[in-house]
Structure 1
């Protein structure tokens, strides 16, 4: 089964064109092929297929769960299809289970229109004990502690909190607590945000179904939305991650724009499909 290995700031994905060679159980394939010891190794598997003037994309996390969207994953797909000349233009449309996304190549980077963030609890989804319009600086109790969180959906659910420093033991303890909190019926991605100034933030990511990752596109969008809603930054933010930087813009009442690099690492054949 042919595959392409890609990464966007260390957030790595295996791309496979949907065909008769792909096993029917996509979740099991994702678990096996993404295993870093017994497979190829990646944070996720992306199955893609041409569909007229666009491409359909299905994204699976390392644990086999299906993700609604991935900003980094979409940039990786766009980079491969454009740079391999599978698609002959600099603008491309990718359709996921959460909607259609437009991306374009800008020099050596890829810009993704990530749409409008969803802020109401029922669209995240988030289940509050009492009706509330938005989840902003919201006190969420978990394991005997109260965390001030801000939640939204940027194609998939995100829970962000502000910290004074990006402490690894704290992230690895709190990340899974919030990921599986019962208030998030579909689980959630978690962002730990250290504000540097009103234009820059530093973020650590705990991804649903994956764990710690070097970067996250939708997570960077979620962290930016949280920073703006809590009046900690302006509307164009430089997001510093463990592996590099992304730029996120959110005009007032507008659509999120995510810009950064994506890299093709290798092509090969997976022999255990």
Structure 2
């Protein structure tokens, strides 16, 4: 079988996007890992499937697989690429869509300048909803890693996030500390780990170690989580520019019980077919 795909990226967070509306697709974890392999396959941080909606209230179903083969709940950069993909491939001409994800429905809007705004829904802040083991909700939680205590924000944007505020993002040992927090026993489903440096109340820098993928050039849900964590701690404005290694996103969050909005680019790189 020859599988048609499109390679895309959102600020360097790269994806293999597959139309599962017009072709039959059933991928095993081993096949996902092979397709994501940068030496033996196509190469990507995540593989995205575009499927018909199973809910009449949605336009499409959006499935996300990390490079390790595991299916995950949400991916903000992938959601922007999803919107551009369904337009570029002629699957819809609507500029506003409701899309099913494993983490719940999201709303997508294609802007006049080609950027995409994603209504990510309200953050989930209760520890059980993240999930995270803690006796009660707090804006900051102490967590011990290798005998040292760190203070994190913890929340879900449809997928779990831990956010650490650091003084110097360049000198932070993301490659060492990220995996240790990802697999911390207080996060039963593992966790994405954001390292945030606050430059001003409306501008932060961010590096993200993504669960099952490692550090990526950009993480949309991680950018949302960092802004929510910073606002809960009283340190950030409602609208914040988030500078990631791959470029900038704009994140807006009015506050408690409100949706988080993310705006940024999505780019198609090339199309092809690969035998399975």
TM-score bucket of the superposed structures, by smaller chain: over 0.9
Residue in 1 that maps onto 2:122 = 116
Distance 1:14 1:42 in 2: 6
Residue in 1 that maps onto 2:99 = 94
SS of the counterpart of 1:40?
Answer: coil
- The alignment's C-alpha RMSD in Å is 1.4
Match of 2:272 among 263, 268, 271: 268
Distance 1:185 1:20 in 2: 35
Matched, 1:7 2:12: no
Match of 1:133 among 113, 121, 137: 137
Residue in 1 that maps onto 2:110 = 105
Distance 1:20 1:10 in 2: 27
Residue in 1 that maps onto 2:65 = 60
Post-superposition offset of 1:92: 1.5
Distance 1:248 1:225 in 2: 9
Q: Is the 8 A contact 2:153 2:162 kept in 1?
A: yes
The structure-2 alpha-carbon separation of the partners of 1:168 and 1:4, relative to structure 1 and needing over 3 Å to count, comes to farther
Give CA deviations for 1:74-120 in whole Å, capped at 9, x if unaligned: 11010111133221111122111111111011122100000000000
Q: Is the 8 A contact 1:23 1:29 kept in 2?
A: no
Post-superposition offset of 1:169: 6.1
Post-superposition offset of 1:20: 6.1
Matched, 1:166 2:172: no
Q: Is the 8 A contact 1:179 1:190 kept in 2?
A: yes
Residue in 2 that maps onto 1:237 = 240
Q: Is the 8 A contact 2:166 2:172 kept in 1?
A: no
Structure 1 unaligned runs (5+)? none
Match of 1:40 among 24, 39, 42: 42
Distance 1:21 1:105 in 2: 27
Q: Is the 8 A contact 1:109 1:260 kept in 2?
A: yes
SS of the counterpart of 1:225?
Answer: helix
Post-superposition offset of 1:32: 0.5
Query: Aligned pairs, how many?
Result: 268
Structure 2 unaligned runs (5+)? none
Q: Is the 8 A contact 2:160 2:190 kept in 1?
A: yes
Distance 1:207 1:109 in 2: 23
SS of the counterpart of 1:176?
Answer: helix
Distance 1:137 1:177 in 2: 19
TM-score, normalised with respect to structure 2: 0.94
Matched, 1:29 2:31: yes
Post-superposition offset of 1:230: 1.3
Distance 1:184 1:192 in 2: 17
